[in-house]
């Protein structure tokens, strides 16, 4: 059944587990995460970015998700990831999304508040939940205390932000970043900051840029011609710790892209005679499903639906 992120995340927060928000980019990603959720009996957040809307078409995405989600016995949410403006938010709410993220993290504090408040007003009217972001996603290796203070989420500012905007969930910056190159040296997150933020806020917290960039997948991709030297993600023990300190939603995109790419490369290399797209993409879809199932177990959302 189709529900809001708020519904999914409040249960997660109360029971101290996290739910993955998995970015879809094509039919196979969508099928992989749906099948994984069914097999793991996990609630599911389907995350769609503006660039995926541009790539796949809003109506195609909404029709696909609605048809599937309405028949599923599990709670499923259709979530706009990194919405940047009110027009996109309005378009997604009208199309049937159950949750939207307004990402004003690049704006000044007051501007972020003003934009977020506007979105909350629009969304509350329709019973749609809203996620906002405060702080900038960036690694914290080789940074000074001053630099960290300038871009990581400040706990007191987060409290004021949430009080004034009434958002349902907040994405926090504690040292993660998007993509496959998150750390040059030892992976490092600011857990003390996360703890302090959690103490001040009563709403679910979100971790973006949380892919682990599994080294076996990187090696496989590189073996078949990829150039992904130095790719590195957030270790699983850091994810476990982040959940124990109060993270309730975990965004994953890169690990799906890597599993897809590594497996497509392998399939084409070992079966050069095939040219049916379904034969090329089935193993990649299976590999992504395995990644998602493992995440659901790691996050503790398996058997919570």
Residues that bind ligand G3H (CB under 6 A): 23, 49, 51-52, 81-82, 178, 253
Cα distance between residue 172 and residue 272, in whole Å: 45
Least Å from the CB of residue 52 to Zn ion: 12
The partner in contact with residue 252, picked from Zn ion, ligand 13P, ligand G3H, none with C-beta cut-offs of 5 to 8 angstroms by kind, is: ligand 13P
The partner in contact with residue 52, picked from ligand G3H, ligand 13P, Zn ion, none with C-beta cut-offs of 5 to 8 angstroms by kind, is: ligand G3H
Residue 79 found at the interface with Zn ion (CB under 5 A): no
Tokens 């997150």 found at: 189
The partner in contact with residue 295, picked from Zn ion, ligand 13P, ligand G3H, none with C-beta cut-offs of 5 to 8 angstroms by kind, is: none
Quick one: 178 or 240, whose CB is closer to ligand 13P?
178
If one counts every other C-beta atom within 10 angstroms of the C-beta of residue 34, the result is 23
Instruction: Tell me, by CB under 6 A, how many residues bind ligand 13P.
Output: 14
Least Å from the CB of residue 279 to ligand 13P: 27
If one counts every other C-beta atom within 10 angstroms of the C-beta of residue 184, the result is 11
The partner in contact with residue 285, picked from ligand 13P, Zn ion, ligand G3H, none with C-beta cut-offs of 5 to 8 angstroms by kind, is: none
Residue of 81, 168, 190, 266 interacting with ligand 13P (CB under 6 A): 81
Q: Is 81 a catalytic residue?
A: yes
Distant-in-sequence, close-in-space partners of 159: CB < 8 Å, separation ≥ 6: 200, 201
Using CB under 6 A as the criterion, what x/- string covers residues 227-266 for binding ligand 13P?
A: ------------------------xxxxx-----------
Tokens 């023990």 found at: 237
Residue 208 found at the interface with Zn ion (CB under 5 A): yes
Cα dihedral 136, 139, 142, 145 sign:
positive
Residue 179 found at the interface with ligand 13P (CB under 6 A): yes
β-pair type (99-102, 169-172): unpaired
SS3 of 15, please?
Answer: helix
Cα atoms in the Cβ-side hemisphere of radius 13 Å centred on 236: 11
Helical (H) or strand (E) element with 117: helix 109-126
Least Å from the CB of residue 103 to ligand G3H: 9
SS3 of 76, please?
Answer: strand
Cα distance between residue 249 and residue 138, in whole Å: 18
Kindly list the residues in this chain that would bind ligand 13P in the complex (CB under 6 A).
23, 81-82, 178-179, 208-211, 251-255
What residues are labeled active site? 81
Kindly list the residues in this chain that would bind Zn ion in the complex (CB under 5 A).
208, 251
């Amino acid at each position: 059944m189709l529900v809001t992120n708020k519904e999914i995340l409040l249960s997660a927060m109360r029971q101290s587990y996290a739910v993955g928000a998995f970015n879809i980019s094509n039919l196979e990603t969508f099928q992989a995460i749906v099948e994984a959720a069914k097999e793991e009996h996990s609630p599911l957040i389907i995350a769609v970015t503006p660039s995926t809307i541009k790539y796949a078409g809003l109506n195609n995405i909404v029709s696909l998700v609605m048809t599937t989600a309405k028949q599923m016995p599990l709670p499923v949410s259709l979530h706009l990831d990194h919405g940047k403006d009110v027009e996109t938010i309005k378009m997604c709410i009208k199309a049937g999304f159950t949750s939207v993220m307004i990402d004003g993290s690049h704006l000044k504090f007051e501007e972020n508040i003003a934009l977020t408040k506007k979105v909350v007003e629009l969304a509350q009217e329709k019973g749609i939940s809203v996620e906002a972001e405060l702080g900038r996603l960036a690694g914290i290796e080789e940074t000074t205390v001053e630099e960290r203070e300038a871009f990581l989420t400040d706990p007191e500012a987060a409290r004021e932000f949430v009080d004034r905007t009434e958002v349902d969930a907040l994405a926090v910056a504690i040292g993660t970043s998007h993509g496959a190159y998150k750390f040059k040296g030892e992976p490092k997150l600011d857990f003390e900051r996360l703890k302090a933020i959690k103490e001040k806020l009563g709403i679910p917290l979100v971790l973006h840029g949380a892919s682990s960039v599994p080294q076996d997948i990187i090696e496989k991709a590189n073996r078949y011609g990829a150039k992904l030297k130095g790719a590195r993600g957030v270790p699983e023990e850091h994810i476990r710790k982040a959940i124990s300190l109060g993270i309730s939603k975990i965004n994953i995109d890169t690990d799906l892209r890597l599993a897809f790419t590594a497996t497509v490369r392998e399939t084409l290399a070992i079966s050069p005679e095939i040219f049916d797209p379904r034969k090329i993409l089935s193993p990649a879809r299976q590999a992504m499903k395995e990644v998602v199932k493992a995440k659901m177990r790691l996050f503790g959302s398996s058997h919570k639906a």
